[in-house]
Amino acid sequence: MSLPKFLSFHLIILLSAFTGAANGYYYYRWAECIYSSSNYSDMVLIDGYYFNKFVYSQFNSTVGEFVGFTEYGVRNAEFWNKNTDLMQRERAQVDRFCKYNAELSDSAVRDKTVKPNIKVSSVKEYDGTHPAMLMCSAYRFYPQKIKVTWLKNNVAVTTDVTSTEEMPNGDWYYQIHSHLEYTPKSGEKISCVVEHASSTQPMIVDWNPAIQESERNKIAIGASGLVLGIIIAAAGLIYYKKKSSGRILVPH
């Protein structure tokens, strides 16, 4: 499944002039275009009418007509649905507004996308009582919208997952981290799935404990080498000082 994309148009009108209230009331219309396929075949238009944050009437292109959610909204929906010209124009907005603007937006973003660097690592090992924890990190990607999920044996994981929000790096790129708690099982395959505009297909990275062990070994070897180097340097310094203290300087 591809990452859902959104286009929206937001019109707000303040009605304080008619009510006399200091803060006023808000009437607004919010149109959204939702799609995930590259050919826009699944494009959906949701055109909602709101009063003080509550929707009272809404047009959904999958339904094909207006639906009311309040007494006032039901009356409006019935009136609008009987208007043939209005309904034709509303249904045509899927192609005329949604698909047209989606093509412009996607073409502008597609040329500037940067594919994320993805890494799966262990942040807590299983101790027999508490579960282990893996972290899937996606770095240096653009644009911001991204989706990170987990698979166990190719089945989507819906519990024991926590994720951060997309965080800006300060250089136009973003990063995100997702954590999975699990109890290790023999032969179990765990994968991190990342969906982003930079790739037409989901990017899948499998968790490989052997790589983690290899990294730990490299760190251990590096630390051992550092300690050995310090010992050799210290021994050389002691030897040099002893040799120097045994010399007798003869004036010329």
Q: What is the pLDDT of residues 162-201, one digit of tens each?
A: 988 899 988 889 999 999 999 888 889 999 999 998 888 9
Residue length, the chain?
252
Q: How confident is the model at residue 56 (pLDDT cuts 50, 70, 90)?
A: very high
Q: How confident is the model at residue 90 (pLDDT cuts 50, 70, 90)?
A: very high
Q: Give the percent of the chain with pLDDT over 90.
A: 45
Q: Give the pLDDT score at 17.
A: 46
Q: Which helix (H) or strand (E) holds 147?
A: strand 146-152
Q: Give helix 84-93 / helix 71-81 axis angle, nearest 10°.
A: 100
Res. 213: pLDDT tops 70 = no
Distance of CA 225 to the CA centre of its chain: 40
Closest CA to 188 of 233, 161, 160, 155: 155
What's the Cα-to-Cα distance from 129 to each of 19, 125, 132, 159, 183, rounded to whole Å? 63, 11, 9, 19, 10
Res. 16: pLDDT tops 70 = no
Write out the residue limits of the CATH 3.10.320.10 domain(s) in the chain.
Answer: 5-110
Q: Which CATH class is domain 5-110?
A: alpha beta
Tell me: the pLDDT tens digits for 107-158?
777 678 899 999 999 988 888 788 899 999 999 999 888 999 999 999 999 8
Query: Distance (Å, rounded) from C-alpha 52 to C-alpha 45?
Result: 22
Q: Which CATH class is domain 117-209?
A: mainly beta
Q: Give the pLDDT score at 196.
A: 92
Q: Give the pLDDT score at 117.
A: 95
Q: Give the pLDDT score at 249.
A: 47
104 vs 149 pLDDT, higher one: 149
Write out the residue limits of the CATH 2.60.40.10 domain(s) in the chain.
Answer: 117-209
Q: How confident is the model at residue 246 (pLDDT cuts 50, 70, 90)?
A: low
Query: Distance (Å, rounded) from C-alpha 46 to C-alpha 33?
Result: 6
What's the Cα-to-Cα distance from 93 to each of 8, 30, 87, rounded to whole Å? 13, 14, 10
Query: Distance (Å, rounded) from C-alpha 179 to C-alpha 161?
Result: 6
